[in-house]
Every structure is written in C-alpha cells, then in structure tokens.
A and B are shown apart, each in its own frame.
Chain A
Amino acid sequence: MIAAILRSISRQARRHPLYVGLNVFGLALGIGVFLTLTLVVRFEYSFNTGFVDADRLARMDEHWSEPGTTPFESADVSFRALPFLKQDFSEIEDAVTFTATTLNVQKNGQFTHFSGRMTDPEFFRMFSLRLVQGDPDTALTRPDGLVLSRRAAMTVFGKSDVLGKTIEINRIGQKNTYSVTGVLGDVPSPGLLDNVDMLLPVPPQDRVTRSCFLFWGSSCGELLLKFHKHDDIAAVNARLSDFVLHRASGTADDQISIGADGKRVYALSVVPLKETHFHDSQVEDAGSSAEQYVIDGIGLIGLLALILGCANTVNLATARAGLRAKEVALRKTLGASRFMLFTQFMGEAMVFSCIAGLSGLALCEICVPAIASVTGEAVDIDYYFIALLLPLVILGSGLASGLYPSLILSGYNPATILAAARMPAGGRKATMLRNALVVAQFSVAICIVICTLVIDRQTSFLRHASRGYIQSGMLIGQQMHSKDIEVQRHMLDMLQSIPNVTSVTLGELQPNPHSLTRTGFFMRVLRDGLTCRWSGIASHQVTEKPTSPACWPDAGLMPHTGRMMAPPTLSLKAETATGMLSSTARPLCPLALKNLMML
C-alpha cells in the first residue's frame, strides 16, 4: 500500500508539478510558521520552569503608591524583610537575596565585563542546582568564594578546571580577590540565571552598611523565596499586609521603617517564579518580560497559519477531485472498496503532509535563528520537543487536509461517473465548502496583513515620534558610582575632552515616570553654616530626578512652565522654612547621580 501511495504521488508530481508544488508549499509554509511560532511561544512560557520545585519558588515584590506618582510594582526590593520572613511565615522554607552586579576582570591590561549576581550561601540548595566542580553547600559560605559559569571560566582561565584558583574582581571600583569555589553546569534556561557568569556571596559589610539591608524602602535586588508547598504562596500573600504593618511600619522619625502610615504607600506581594516573565511586563526593575496576550496572539497566528495551509490543501484537493473521478470510478469497478480508496487518498494526504512537515521544519530552521537575532531572545530549536510535536502536526494536518477530499473521492458512484459527460467536483456541498474555505483563507490572510501594517505603522511612529528630548547622537552611560563631586567633575571633563563630544552631563533623565528617586529629608540649618543630614524618614518626602544644571538643555528638554535651574532666590530664612537647598548648600548634600549623558 505504501509503495502504491508513493508511486501515485510520484506520478502526480511528474504529471501535475504545479498542483503538487502548491499543495506542498502551502502546507509547508503553514507548518513552518506554526513550528516557529510554537517554539517562540514555548520559549516565552518556559521562563523559570526548568528549576526543580519550580512550583514552590517565588519572588517578593514591592508595591508603591506614593502621592503624586502612579502606583507601581518593583522587583527591586529592600532586603530588610529577609530576617523576618522565615520567622513570621512557617510556610517559607528558604529565602535568599539576589542582586545583579557588573564585575570586571582585568587581564593583560584589558577589562572584561561579566554579569554577576550576589546571593546567599543557601542559593544552590534552594534551587537544587548542581555544580560541575565544587560543593554547592559550601561554595558561597566563604566571603571570598566565587562560582563561575563554564563560559566565564574559559574566558578568564582558558579552561574549566579552575577550582581553587584566585581572581581579582573589580566591582564598582572596589578590587577584591576571590577564590573559585565552584563551576556551574548547565542551568535551567530561560530564566533567572540566563547570561549569569559569576555568583558571589553578599559581602558581609554590605549586610551592616548597605541601606537596602537596613531600611525599608531602600532597594537593591531581588528577594527569592522557596515555600514548602505551592499553595503556601497564596496563603503568605494573604498575610503580607499584616507583615508590612507589623514589620515595616514605624513612627514618623523612625529611620528604618516606611513611616507611621507605611501601609498606605507600601505593600508586598509574592509572585510565583514561573509567572514572573509575564508578570514582569508591568513591574519596574524586573528582568526579561513579555506581555502574555502578545505571546498568546503569536501562538494564535501560528495556529491560523497552519489552518490556512490545511485549508489550501483541502481547496486544491477538492477542486482537483473531479480530475480523479474517472480513476476512482474505474478502481471501484475493478474491485476497490471505498475503504481501500479512502486509505489510499488519506495515505497520499499523509505523505504530502510528511513532505510538507519536513519542508516546514527546514523553514523553521531558517526562521528561528532569524527571530532569535531580531528579538535578542535565546530561542532555539528543541529537537526533543520537535520530535514530539512534528509527528502530531503532520498527523493533524494530514487528517485535516486529507479527510474531506478522501471522503468525497472514495464516495463517488462509479456508474454515475462513467456515464457522466463531465467530471464532478464534489457536488454542491463541496463547492460550498471550497467557497467558504476560500473566503476564510482570504479573510484571515487580509486580517494578518492589516495587523502587520498597523504594527509596522505603530513601530514606525514609536521610532520617529518626538519624545521631548534629543534622541539622535545621545549616548546614555551607566551609573557613576562615586559620590565625590570632584571625581564626578573630573570624569565629566575627561569625557568632554573626547573629540566630537559636544556636551556631557549627569542626570536621571530617562523619560520614565517611575524612575524617580524618593527621598526623605530632615533639614536642620545652623546659623554658623549650612549642614544637612539624611534621615531616610522625615517630614519632607520628595520625589526627584537629580540632574546637573546643564542636563536639561543639553538633552533638549524644556519645562512646561517656569524656569529651569533658576539661580537661588530664596533667602536663608526662606530656605530654612521650606527645606529647599540653595546652590551653595548643594555640594554638602551630594547626590549619587546615576546616568551619564554624552552629546
């Protein structure tokens, strides 16, 4: 039977190459698009799902609802909650901090940047991660312990057998020597550990000096939790408002707490780690994210492409059914049963589907790397998944595209066909079906074209619309960590001296309503001079975008009303009364300016 089917297809390909070509190409295109988009959707849905006990892992987020600002959620949280979490919630099995940091290693006079994470010794236990070298239980217990990815080990040492080797790492201008205590093997991807080169313990001094460890409201990284049961996540979520009231609220002059009315502006929530990828599209300071409805839409488009491919095959097969009517009548006359003919035509559809499936896979091989390169996502072809999916797709598309034509063809009455002057094409029902399929095909295709045009126009608008600041020729650098004004000025001068650099300024000017610094001031002005001190919590709460005076005009920003960086006009008395600082006072309260702009 299989040989007969292959012979029949071979004959059709020889005698009707256009028909066979259109049939296979249409279905291959549908299958190829379906496979490609399914891989994209699967990738987007697989974030953080590869960890052992992924159902029990979660992240703690902060929610801010400060007056005058849009409420927002942040994955960058205070670690102040850490010591209380296991104490107050028996459901929590483990909790660790997880802070992103850039690490620089100098080798042969060249700096190499690595993506690092500072975390706690329990990290590997909590995520059930194994090391290819080293003991996961002790790898991060030493203050100078360092766990490298294999890639980082190869980059730094040229080999992966590096246990016990030392390495000098420059982190935010501070150089420390670390000893390699572990090498990471393959980690679940995509997810939390994507592109992480190095893991190092939180420096002990950070726990007692860094504000995010000490104060509620000061943030510096993620807080990751592991629960005894998945259901515990919801149970803990329900009690977090009480936790905030009990642990984060305090008095007005309490420097550690959120304040007396903390619950009004501050809340905590726990997000299952598997859900963070889609959840984070609405979360500040989160990692890779995607809108779930967009991803579902992409999946739907893939499915529609497959349906269109099948519909195309059904159309061609039913339209061509008349041409095979004589063959069917003859075969029936010669003793073929309807089942035999049905099997033959279904077999042909399956073989067409197989050829189209393999061609679709080839198309997918071409498209997936292209999509990965355009989106920057590490989407790849999982051949185990494809080995499961492709046979199902081939079977499904073979059935979908072959069932109806096979039923029609095998159902022909030979006496009618042999007596007829012209060949039938399936009758009125088949004609109606073909018309409906053509209308559906074109409707969906036109919808997709319109959607693509709309997205193209929107993208073009986003690219070219004025955002109220200079976009062309501007480079925005990373944080300038030094709080020393002289160091900042020296850096600006150095950058200004680079040829063709017209202007260099400092400021937090990214046009993002949430990138505001929330600061509490408690001002005390002395007659014998101006002093100020940070309290963290005070009667004056301001949200601000610290900038240097030249930053706004250099970035092309204009105030809606008023004047920018006007010279001080307030008297000392007025400054004292309002809490505003004059330019003479400003150097005494240096700001850690985060962004460096070069024009």
Chain B
Amino acid sequence: MLIHLSRIQRLYRSDEVETTALHDIELDIAQGEFLAIMGPSGCGKSTLLNILGTIDRPTAGSYRFGDEELTKLNETALARFRRENLGYIFQSFNLIDELTIEENIELALIYRNISKPERRQRVAQAMDRVGIAHRARHYPSQLSGGQQQRAAIARAIVGEPRLILADEPTGNLDTENGTQVMDILQTLNDEGATIIMVTHSPSHADLARRRVDMLDGQIVISVRNAI
C-alpha cells in the first residue's frame, strides 16, 4: 500500500468558531492507482488533497506514505518528501508569470541535486510527453489555458514522482482541452503513475480506477470503476 490514512481529522479554529473540515478519514491508496475524489463544494476535498500533499497538516490521525509516518516529520523533512515524491496539478495552473514554460517546468527539479544538463534533458522529455515543446521559450501569458495546464502537468511529472495530485485539473478548461488533459493523466496512470484527482466532473471521475465521494468532511462512498 502506498498511502494509508487513518482517523485523519482537520479542524479549523477561529476565536469563536471551530469548523471540522475532515472527520475520521480512513483511506488506503495502492501504488499505480488513479483515484478520483468528488463531492460538493466545502465537503473537504481540497483539504484532503492538501493533507495528502503535505502542504497542510491534519489535526489528528495518521498519514503513512510507504513506510514513513508523515505526521511526525518537521517542515524541512516534509519539503524534502514533497520534492522527491509528489507532483501537483492545480485548477488555475499556477505557473509563475515571470518564468518561461521551460523554466516553470524546471522549477520542480531546481531544489533537487540534479545537474543542469540533466534538468534540461528531463524538461525537454516532459514537454514532449505533453506536446508543448514548441512553446518552451514562451511565457505563460502567451499560452492558451489548455497549453498552460499541459505545462503544469509537465512540471508535475518531470520529477518522476511516486504520486501525482491533481486539484480540479480540468476545472478551468473547455471540453476539448479537458479531454486532452484527462487523456494525458490516463496515459501517465497506464505507465504506472499513482494519481489522486479532485474533480466536480462525473465523466472525468469515471475515467479514474476508483472514485470516492465526500460529504461534510467524511468519505461516504468509495467505488471502483469498471474500465
């Protein structure tokens, strides 16, 4: 098992109110799985994804990734974990406007001890895989939404992560571009990548191998899709 979540809780406290975003989440994800998380807005999908991506910490519970208990790691160790194991795809692409597409993708390797020629080579391969090599020297603002998301996918996969986290990756795209992005994700999954995707689209969720539905901070349904 790649991921094992046990009794994960996430509470948000303000001066007057305590909000439970996640309540006793139990979830196991196997290596090579493609999991879609669905649910209405505010049900805790993104919070769960942030905890899976270690950019947020659970208030209680256990998060094991392989043999490692991540809830006990400090910030520096978590940063190392992220750069070695995770790739992110965001709804709004989150490319840095000041960097070219090539530089944006390279950013995922910059904090690793990888030589510049190797970085260049891996970036070129990643761009080839998503079909944006011809846009390498362009800035994000010069690309369409679909191209930007493909660049974001290239950034997510360039480090060959063990887990790809996608937060509504087709949310800002039209149908055609959304389909292209889903095709890429499926291909990556077919090649062995483990993907966890939050989506509002049932059709895209159906493309995943497994789907979990959330409501009020809890997983209410977990179904395996027939592919």
A and B associate: yes
What sequence of 0s and 1s flags, for each residue 88-118 of chain B, a beta carbon within 8 Å of any chain A beta carbon? Answer: 1010001011110000000110111000000
Complex formed: what's the CA distance from A12 to B94 in Å? 18
- Give the chain A neighbours of B96 by CB distance below 8 A: 326-327, 330
- Give the chain B neighbours of A340 by CB distance below 8 A: 79, 111
**Chain A, interface residues (CB within 8 Å), range:** 20 to 34
A163 to chain B, nearest CB (A): 67
- Give the chain B neighbours of A336 by CB distance below 8 A: 79, 83, 111
Check: B55 CB closer than 8 A to any chain A CB.
yes
Q: Given A4-B110, A327-B96, A334-B111, do A415 and B56 touch, yes or no (CB 8 Å)?
A: yes
One of A12, A334, A418 near B82 (C-beta < 8 A): A334
Q: Given A333-B53, A334-B88, A414-B55, do A12 and B79 touch, yes or no (CB 8 Å)?
A: no
B75, B98, B112: residue with the most chain A Cβ atoms closer than 10 Å: B98
Complex formed: what's the CA distance from A327 to B97 in Å? 9
Q: Given A326-B96, A339-B76, do A331 and B107 touch, yes or no (CB 8 Å)?
A: yes
A427 to chain B, nearest CB (A): 15
Q: Given A12-B98, A415-B50, A415-B55, do A332 and B90 touch, yes or no (CB 8 Å)?
A: no
Complex formed: what's the CA distance from A332 to B86 in Å? 12
Number of A-B contacts defined by CB within 8 Å:
66
Complex formed: what's the CA distance from A335 to B88 in Å? 11
Complex formed: what's the CA distance from A221 to B83 in Å? 80
Check: A338 CB closer than 8 A to any chain B CB.
yes
Residue of B at shortest CB range from A419?
B46
Q: Given A332-B79, A334-B107, do A418 and B94 touch, yes or no (CB 8 Å)?
A: yes
Check: A112 CB closer than 8 A to any chain B CB.
no
A17 to chain B, nearest CB (A): 13
* A337→B94 contact, CB < 8 A: no
- Give the chain B neighbours of A330 by CB distance below 8 A: 94, 96, 107
B window 52-103: CB within 8 A of A: 53, 55-56, 75-76, 79-80, 82-84, 86, 88, 90, 94, 96-99
What sequence of 0s and 1s flags, for each residue 323-359 of chain A, a beta carbon within 8 Å of any chain B beta carbon? Answer: 0001101111111111110000000000000000000
Complex formed: what's the CA distance from A338 to B77 in Å? 11
B226 to chain A, nearest CB (A): 33
* A337→B79 contact, CB < 8 A: yes
A window 1-28: CB within 8 A of B: 4, 11-12, 15
Complex formed: what's the CA distance from A337 to B79 in Å? 5
Complex formed: what's the CA distance from A414 to B155 in Å? 17
What sequence of 0s and 1s flags, for each residue 198-210 of chain A, a beta carbon within 8 Å of any chain B beta carbon? Answer: 0000000000000
* A418→B90 contact, CB < 8 A: yes
Complex formed: what's the CA distance from A223 to B108 in Å? 77
* A334→B75 contact, CB < 8 A: no
* B76→A333 contact, CB < 8 A: no
* A335→B82 contact, CB < 8 A: yes
- Give the chain B neighbours of A4 by CB distance below 8 A: 110
A133 to chain B, nearest CB (A): 63
B166 to chain A, nearest CB (A): 13
B14 to chain A, nearest CB (A): 14
What sequence of 0s and 1s flags, for each residue 398-418 of chain A, a beta carbon within 8 Å of any chain B beta carbon? Answer: 000000000000000111001
Using a CB–CB distance below 8 Å, which chain B residues touch chain A?
Answer: 46, 50, 53, 55-56, 75-76, 79-80, 82-84, 86, 88, 90, 94, 96-99, 107-108, 110-112, 155
Q: A333-B55, A333-B82, A413-B55 are in contact. List 5 more A-B contacts (CB 8 A).
A: A334-B110, A335-B79, A338-B79, A415-B50, A415-B55
Using a CB–CB distance below 8 Å, which chain A residues touch chain B?
Answer: 4, 11-12, 15, 326-327, 329-340, 413-415, 418-419
